[in-house]
Amino acid sequence: MSTTTGPNRRTVLCGLAAALAAPGALAACSSDAGEFQPGTPTQAAPPTTAAGGTPLARIPVGGGTIVTKGEQTILLVQPTAGTVKGFDASCPHQGTTVDPPQNGVITCPNHFSQFDGATGALRKGPAASGLTEVPVRVVDGSVQV
């Protein structure tokens, strides 16, 4: 029986991948690969509560998270604690899914239109209008669309 005192093979390979900035390799090395990452549009919707909504705790105050309902992609934002709004996450310019707000601004990663993080109003084009609000309500700590 042998004992291992140094880094294992996975640790060495992950370190090498990090050094070479290989994003695909890094994803495979992540200990939480596959776990929901708020604010990452390509991730699946977060777990739902028993009431069928998104747990309020999954929406960062001052930020937001992307969820899906059927075919619709929705950006849930919480500008201040306990105040939640929903917006159609499709950019009005060409339909790219916008990113959750950072520093009060929602940005489209495609052509960088910007929208107000609390109201969805247009701040900067090329989009010609703001985000479309989607009615949401908070019931027992669960955000329902």
Cα–Cα distance, 10 to 20 (Å, whole number): 15
96 touching ligand FES, by CB under 6 A = yes
Which C-beta is closer to ligand FES: that of 58 or that of 88? 88
Binding flags for ligand FES, 107-136, as an x/- string (CB under 6 A): -x-xx-x------------xx---------
Count of beta carbons in the 10 Å neighbourhood of residue 31: 6
DSSP states along 57-90: GGS-BT-EEEEEETTEEEEEEEEETTEEEEEE-B
Which C-beta is closer to ligand FES: that of 76 or that of 91? 91
CB of 75 to ligand FES, least distance (A): 13
Binding-site size for ligand FES (CB under 6 A) equals 10
3-state secondary structure (DSSP) of residue 142: strand
Which C-beta is closer to ligand FES: that of 56 or that of 91? 91
Alpha carbon 64 to chain centroid distance?
7
Which C-beta is closer to ligand FES: that of 126 or that of 141? 126
CB of 128 to ligand FES, least distance (A): 10
Q: Are strands 83-88 and 72-80 parallel, antiparallel or unpaired?
A: antiparallel
Cα–Cα distance, 46 to 107 (Å, whole number): 21
Site residues (vs ligand FES, CB under 6 A): 91, 93-94, 96, 108, 110-111, 113, 126-127
